A and B are shown apart, each in its own frame.
Chain A
Amino acid sequence: QSVLTQPPSVSGAPGQRVTISCTGSSSNLGADYDVHWYQQLPGTAPKVLIYGDNKRPSGVPDRFSGSRSGTSASLAITGLQAEDEAVYYCQSYDTTVSLFVLFGGGTKLTVL
């Protein structure tokens, strides 16, 4: 069970806006550690989509945006496209002894 909680799945029609939540606790997101988001297309390696809560690496469309508040973070995708169908993971850090790098459980985005 991941310490960062994501919904297992979300869906939307082409052109719509969807959001994916990532909920943590006081020892990770609440401790002000940065949140990063990754996109994993079917059969491929993950790719960084958002870093430092809300920054996009070069080449990532501005349809993707990140935000955070307290112990939660969100990834928003606007103008949904068929090629956005993938699994999305949030990632942060934790201050507890046994954890260091945390990934959320992943959210499967289906474009209807």
Chain B
Amino acid sequence: EVHLVESGGGLGKPGGSLRLSCAASGFTFTNAWMSWVRQAPGKGLEWIGRIKSKSDGGRIDYAEPVRGRFTISRDDSKNTLFLQMSSLKTDDTGFYFCATQGVDGIGWYVFDNWGQGTLVTVSS
């Protein structure tokens, strides 16, 4: 069974930094594409970015609102995905979910498994 557990959320100050982690199990992490998706309180889903598997080139793409401020990385030896968040803004407040792509055999461009999310609050 696929299991994704996010951690690292909490209170961050405007202009500050936070690092989120997503521990994965139950599938071959090395082969998976991984994404971060966030959700402001009471709002809809917003894709942040994705990292492909190393075998698929390891390309990383970001959504415009976070490009240049957030960095996605992965440690395949530890089955862990990371999101380094810098230059935080109050608009970055929300739940942050990690999600897999290409794990359940239903395609590379659908988010087939999700973690339960970790809450990030940016406030002075």
Contact = CB atoms under 8 A, between A and B. Distances in A.
Interface in A19-33: 33
A20 to B, nearest CB: 14
* A interface residue count range (under 10 / 10 to 19 / 20 to 34 / 35 or more): 20 to 34
B107 A52 contact: yes
Contact of B112 (A44, A48, A100, A103): A48
A38 B47 CA distance: 14
Contact of A52 (B37, B46, B64, B106): B106
Given A100-B47, A103-B47, A105-B44, A45 B61 contact: no
Interface string B36-71: 010000001111001000000000010110000000
Nearest to B114: A45
Contacts of A57: 104, 106, 112
Contacts of B44: 2, 89, 103-106
B95 to A, nearest CB: 9
A45 B106 contact: no
Given A52-B106, A104-B44, A46 B61 contact: no
A89 B46 CA distance: 11
A63 interface: no
5 contacts: A51-B107, A55-B106, A57-B106, A101-B50, A103-B46
Given A34-B110, A48-B106, 15 more contacts: A36-B110, A45-B97, A46-B37, A46-B45, A46-B114, A47-B114, A48-B112, A57-B106, A89-B44, A91-B110, A98-B64, A99-B63, A100-B63, A102-B47, A103-B44
